[in-house]
Structure 1
Amino acid sequence: MRKLLPFAITSLLGTSSMAADLTAKIEVPRLNVAEYHRPYVAVWIESPDQTFAGNLSVWYDLKKRDNEGAKWLKDLRQWWRRSGRDLAMPVDGVSGATRVVGEQSLSFAGDKGVLAKLPAGEYQLVVEAAREGGGREVVKLPFQWNAKTEQTAKAQGSHELGQVSLTVKP
């Protein structure tokens, strides 16, 4: 096995590879309805021209037998058209159970998963929520990947989502 000296490791990685971290906070609002169902939520990244860049998280009903909850994922229409129909659910590291009412925090390391392969540039964090017997809503937050300073963005949902915020740290 060949040993690499520290300067050799730096030259292999290049000096431009900055590993930023991305944190999203998504509020699932309490709705005053007769029969409440937790929302299905998809979180992904797209470029400003709406080209799909990668999935971060998908919440759906994992408890149904025979992966029956996955059939309702198509109600997340924008996500489904861009990525969902090409996935075999569950997806390790991406999919998980629906979340309870309140603020949910998601953190992603820039040196792992989709973020590790994301070129520097302008993007949007997209959060889509759909609920059985309810509505559907999409919130988009613009950000610069591999910027030199910390960035924050916030948007307020109107019914299926509450406040959605994004922090990107270099």
Structure 2
Amino acid sequence: MRPSTFALLGGVIAAPATAATVTVTIPRQNVAEYHRPYVAIWLEPAGGGAARTVALWYETKKTGKEAGTKYLADLRAWWRKGGKAMTVPVDGVTGATRAPGQYSVALPADLRPGRYVLSVEAARETGGRELVTLPLTVPTAAARASGKTELGAVTISAR
């Protein structure tokens, strides 16, 4: 008896993913005029190569010719690594800015085994700009780093 195509596909679909979750903390700022930061999260192969945007949080409620995309270039490192070539919005990647708090983002499940660099960059109007990078090894090993002003703890954990 031949195995059915359905059974073969079922085994592929049920295979466990080797993905991870990155948790980003946006700290509460004690300032008179607070604007939520734009945040970009992306991955690059450790030896160099094309960057892959995992999440991008920016002002989505603005209207007009440039809307909230006008200030995406303030995320300078992300912008140079491929952000300027990206057309937003991107389903499953882009979203609105976040209030202070802790947020989790799933890293892509299709990452090939190897070494990567995870970067998280934040830029805030009338505020600062900060970039935090962490090494990432797939299959996932946990990692942690912390920003000083615009970003708090950034952690990677296995799902």
Once the two structures are superposed, the pairs formed by residues 17-166 of structure 1 within 5 Å of their partners are 19-66=17-64, 67-108=66-107, 110=109, 116=110, 118-145=111-138, 147=139, 151-166=141-156
**Change in CA separation of 1:50 and 1:132 when aligned onto 2, cut-off 3 Å:** farther
When normalised by structure 2's length, the TM-score is 0.86
Matched position secondary structure for 2:68? helix
When normalised by structure 1's length, the TM-score is 0.81
- Asked whether 1:168 is paired with 2:132, we answer no
Could you list the runs of 5+ residues in structure 1 that have no partner in the other structure? 111-115
Quote the offset at 1:52 in angstroms. Answer: 3.0
> Sequence identity, in percent?
44
Tell me, in whole angstroms, the C-alpha distance in 2 between the residues paired with 1:153 and 1:97: 26
Quote the offset at 1:18 in angstroms. Answer: 6.2
Matched position secondary structure for 2:72? helix
Quote the offset at 1:50 in angstroms. Answer: 4.4
The runs of 4+ residues in structure 1 deviating greater than 6 Å are none
The alignment's C-alpha RMSD in Å is 2.3
Matched position secondary structure for 1:103? strand
Alignment check: 8 A CA contact 2:135 2:143 kept: yes
Tell me, in whole angstroms, the C-alpha distance in 2 between the residues paired with 1:26 and 1:82: 20
Alignment check: 8 A CA contact 1:19 1:109 kept: no
